[in-house]
Amino acid sequence: MAYHRFYTPINIFTSGDGLGVHRETCIDEITFDEDGYMQIKPTNEGVDPVKMTPEEPEVILNEITVKAPDKIEYKQGEDLDLTGMEVTAHYSDGKEEVLPEGSYDGVRL
């Protein structure tokens, strides 16, 4: 729970110790008893600091591009020649990967 501790109206204390000029914000742990009532024990220390790190977003495949093979015209009976064909995967984090030959078959990647 975050709260202001040492509440004093502004400028009641003028001893130079800062009391009455500002309020401190404190964060303390809240627990709940068996009846569901909040239990909080105000402290001067508060809770230990917690280092927060942002979650890494999931990297997903956005797009696949295909550079056509060198040979694109065929006569009936000629075997397919994929020399020069390049398949590139483009990911949501901006990275690109040229997929090695054999990692795709034209139906699935």
CB 96 within 8 A of CB 103: no
State yes or no: pLDDT of 75 exceeds 70.
yes
Pairwise CA distance, residues 91 & 105, whole Å: 20
When pLDDT is averaged across residues 44-51 and rounded to a whole number, the result is: 81
**pTM listed for this prediction:** 0.46
What phi and psi values does residue 22 have, to the nearest 5 degrees?
A: -150, 165
pLDDT attached to residue 67:
94
When pLDDT is averaged across residues 77-104 and rounded to a whole number, the result is: 91
17 versus 42: the higher-pLDDT residue is 42
pLDDT attached to residue 46:
80
